Amino acid sequence: MLELNNVSHVYSNGVRALDDVTLSIPKGMFGLLGPNGAGKSTLMRTVGTLQTPTSGSITFDGLDILQDPETLRKRLGYLPQDFGVYPRVSAYDMLDHMAVLKGIAGKGERKDTVETLLNQVNLWDVRKKAIAGFSGGMRQRFGIAQALIGNPDLIIVDEPTAGLDPEERNRFLNLLAAIGENVVVILSTHIVEDVADLCPRMAVIVQGSIELEGAPKDLIEKS
Ligand code: ADP
Ligand code: ADP
C-alpha cells in the first residue's frame, strides 16, 4: 500500500502542481486520470523519488520514502513519459546492460532475468533487433521490461498509451494488468478508457487536487 498524506508541490515559478494530495493506493492497477497539466507527471516523479515535494509525507508499506529514497528505489520500476531510446542497441543487449546497472552481477542470473522479461513482454522474437526500429507499442513493452528488472513491487507508468494504436494499446494495458495482480502499478493517463476496464481503483486529478477517488464503475457512471 502506497500512502500520500497532504502532499503539495510548488515549482520555483510559483505553479502549485500538487495541492494537498492525500491518497491510498492498494496493490493492483491504479489509474491516475487527469487532463494535461493536472499534475500527473509531478505526482509520478514525486512518488518515484525523482523530486521532493514541498510538503507532505509518503509511505510505501510503512517505509517513509522521503526519508529513505534509496530503499524505495531498489523496489521501484519506473517508465517515464519521455523514456529515452538507444538507437543501435538490441533489446537483449540493452536489458542486459540495464540489469548490470541494477546490480544483477552474475551472468547466469542476468541471462535468466533478460530471457524471462523478453518473453513476458512478448519481444522474444525481436530480441536481437535494434530498439530504434521498434513500433510505439514495442517500445512501450520494452519500457515495461526494463522497469521490471529486479522484481519491483511498485511500478510507475506515466502516460504509456500516448501514440499507440488500439491493438497495441490493449496489448500493453493487458500486460500491465497481469503484472498488477501482485504489485502496486500506478498508471497515469488522460484517456478515460485506459482506466475504465482494467483498473480496480482510480483517482481523478485536476489542477493538482484529487477530485474523485474510487472504483471506475462508480465514478464513470456518475459523470
Ligand atoms: P506533460 O506532458 O506531463 O504535461 P509537460 O509537457 O508539462 O508534461 O512537461 C514536460 C517536461 O517539461 C517535464 O519534464 C516538466 O518538468 C517540464 N516542464 C513543464 N512545464 C514547465 C515549466 N513551466 N517550467 C519548466 N519546466 C517545465
Ligand atoms: P501532467 O503530467 O498532468 O500534464 P505536470 O505534472 O507535467 O502535469 O504539470 C503540472 C503543472 O506543473 C503544469 O502547470 C506544468 O506546467 C507545471 N510544471 C511541470 N513541471 C514543471 C517544472 N519543472 N517547473 C515548473 N512548472 C512545472
Q: 12: Cβ below 6 Å to ligand 1?
A: no
Antiparallel, parallel or unpaired: β 184-189 and 28-33: parallel
| Of the candidates 189, 191, 86, 66, the residue with the CA atom closest to the CA atom of residue 146 | 86
Q: 39: Cβ below 6 Å to ligand 2?
A: yes
Report which of residues 181 and 201 the model is more confident about. Answer: 201
Whether the model pTM is above 0.80:
yes
Mean pLDDT for 171-180 is: 89
- ipTM of the complex in this document: 0.76
Residue 163, φ and ψ in degrees, nearest 5: 80, 5
Question: Ligand 2, atom 13: nearest CA belongs to which residue?
Answer: 37
- Does position 197 have pLDDT exceeding 70, yes or no? yes
Question: Ligand 2, atom 24: nearest CA belongs to which residue?
Answer: 11
Report which of residues 222 and 193 the model is more confident about. Answer: 193
Confidence of residue 165 (pLDDT cuts 50, 70, 90): confident
- How is the beta sheet containing 2-10 ordered, strand by strand? 16-25, 2-10, 55-60, 63-64
Q: 99: Cβ below 6 Å to ligand 2?
A: no
Instruction: Compute the distance between CA of residue 3 and CA of residue 26 in angstroms, rounded to an integer.
Output: 9
Amino acid at 204: V
Instruction: Compute the distance between CA of residue 28 and CA of residue 116 in angstroms, rounded to an integer.
Output: 21
Question: 88 is written with which cell numbers?
Answer: 543501435
pLDDT at 38: 97
Question: Ligand 2, atom 27: nearest CA belongs to which residue?
Answer: 11
Question: Ligand 1, atom 13: nearest CA belongs to which residue?
Answer: 41
Half-sphere exposure of 106 (CA within 13 A, CB side): 5
Q: How far is the CA of 80 from the centre of ligand 1 (A)?
A: 13
Confidence of residue 100 (pLDDT cuts 50, 70, 90): very high
pLDDT at 83: 66
Q: Which ligand is nearest to the CA of 15?
A: 2
Mean pLDDT for 85-96 is: 86
Q: Which ligand is nearest to the CA of 14?
A: 2
Half-sphere exposure of 191 (CA within 13 A, CB side): 16
- Does position 176 have pLDDT exceeding 80, yes or no? yes
Mean pLDDT for 84-98 is: 86
Burial 193-218 (b: 16+ CB within 10 A, else e): ebbeebbbbbbbbeebbbeebeebee
- Does position 3 have pLDDT exceeding 70, yes or no? yes
Antiparallel, parallel or unpaired: β 184-189 and 154-158: parallel
Antiparallel, parallel or unpaired: β 63-64 and 76-79: unpaired
Q: What is the pLDDT of residues 106-162, one digit of tens each?
A: 999 999 999 999 999 999 999 999 998 998 889 989 999 999 999 999 999 999 888
pLDDT at 219: 85
Q: What is the pLDDT of residues 49-60, one digit of tens each?
A: 999 999 999 999
Q: What is the pLDDT of residues 23-49, one digit of tens each?
A: 999 999 999 999 999 999 999 999 999
pLDDT at 127: 97
* Residue the block writes with cell 494530495: 21
Confidence of residue 84 (pLDDT cuts 50, 70, 90): low
